[in-house]
Amino acid sequence: MARPLTADIDLDALRHNYLLARDLAPQSRSMVVLKADAYGHGLVACARALADLAPAFAVACIEEAELLRDAGITTPIALLEGFFTADELTRIDELDLWTVVHSDWQVEALLAYRPARPLHVWVKVDSGMHRLGFMPGRVAVVWERLAGATQQVGDLHLVSHFATADQADTHDFQRQMGLLQRLADDLQAPTCLANSPATLSRPQSHADWNRPGVMLYGSDPLEVPNAFSQRLRPVMTLSSEIIAIRHLATGERVGYGGRWQAGRASRIAVVACGYGDGYDRHARDGTPVLVGGQRTELAGKVSMDMLTVDITDLPEADIGTEVTLWGRAANGEVLTVDEVARHCDTISYTLMTGVLPRVPRRYHDARPRV
């Protein structure tokens, strides 16, 4: 019998979340961000589930784009970090990819290249995130050079990234938004600005293109949830089963270092899931878990292949009982990945992308097969 740990991927929930993003910005085209193996959900499976809805996909690098093209995906694909060496332009040309440019050397390499057809190019603006992009004062020069290179460049857009769109305080967001709007107006440039939090909560940022990412996978990126983010559905359910039960007397300890101590006679469930599967080792005692669809708590440090849960108040829990680490339990109860992440002092992105390959993904799709 196989180890019971699985990551179930609800492709109908994925489509629901994408349609929400699209409906929030009906005048924009919503590009699907699929980087990092679709945030741990499976790059190709998620792309296929959205191929009939999305006008474009976005990935981090050519290797991810190649996987999509090899799987028969013909949807336009944007490289969010552009190319890393000049010789990658040949592959971008062959695969018909769209590329971001964020550095002078990329501009020079692009202008020296002779593509089979003009490339779609996205000029990255550093509007305040200070990772990638041209400083605002240099954007016009870069834009004019690329706009004049009609053999190399076809469609040309401005793209930038918001640093604080998820926060309740709007000061920094408004500063970035104002700068980008002025640039777009001066250059008469189409833009791609809104990430997931901006898609959900900053309609003034909805431009020619939006690029929802983590929200598509059911995670709420907002510091303060709103009516729209609360409509997101979890896409990944990480679940396992109880494989052993221990009976502890008052005062006995559990796990490495004996961090958790029984304050009463206790029943402890051993669950087949650990940090070797991607469950965060930093999870604190009290991290929520669903056992048979009922809430209880982590008790003791997470081990490589197992973790332990207090089931003292769940007398029906037994060997083989379902354990939901995050997602939707069989009874419909939901434990969000965001709540689990807070107990691990991290964010949902690290939990979802951290689920390791030894955890089998099972895909669920209610659409009839054609």
pLDDT in tens, the chain (370 residues): 699 999 999 999 999 999 999 999 999 999 999 999 999 999 999 999 999 999 999 999 999 999 999 999 999 999 999 999 999 999 999 999 999 999 999 999 999 999 999 999 999 999 999 999 999 999 999 999 999 999 999 999 999 999 999 999 999 999 999 999 999 999 999 999 999 999 999 999 999 999 999 999 999 999 999 999 999 999 999 999 999 999 999 999 999 999 999 999 999 999 999 999 999 999 999 999 999 999 999 999 999 999 999 999 999 999 999 999 999 999 999 999 999 999 999 999 999 999 999 999 999 998 866 4
Gyration radius of the chain's alpha carbons:
23
Level-2 CATH architecture, domain 236-364: Beta Barrel (2.40)
The residues spanned by each domain of the chain are 11-221, 236-364
Level-2 CATH architecture, domain 11-221: Alpha-Beta Barrel (3.20)
Helical residues (DSSP H) of the chain, grouped into ranges: 11-24, 35-40, 43-50, 62-70, 88-95, 104-112, 136-148, 171-187, 196-201, 337-343, 348-353
Which residue in 35, 39, 217, 275 is the catalytic one?
35
- Which residue type sits at 210? N
Q: How far apart are CA 188 and CA 186, in angstroms?
A: 6
Q: Is 217 a catalytic residue?
A: no
- Which residue type sits at 274? G
Q: Is 256 a catalytic residue?
A: yes
| pTM to 2 decimal places | 0.96
Element (H or E) spanning 8, and its range?
strand 6-10
Which residue in 18, 113, 217, 256 is the catalytic one?
256
Q: How far apart are CA 3 and CA 241, in angstroms?
A: 9
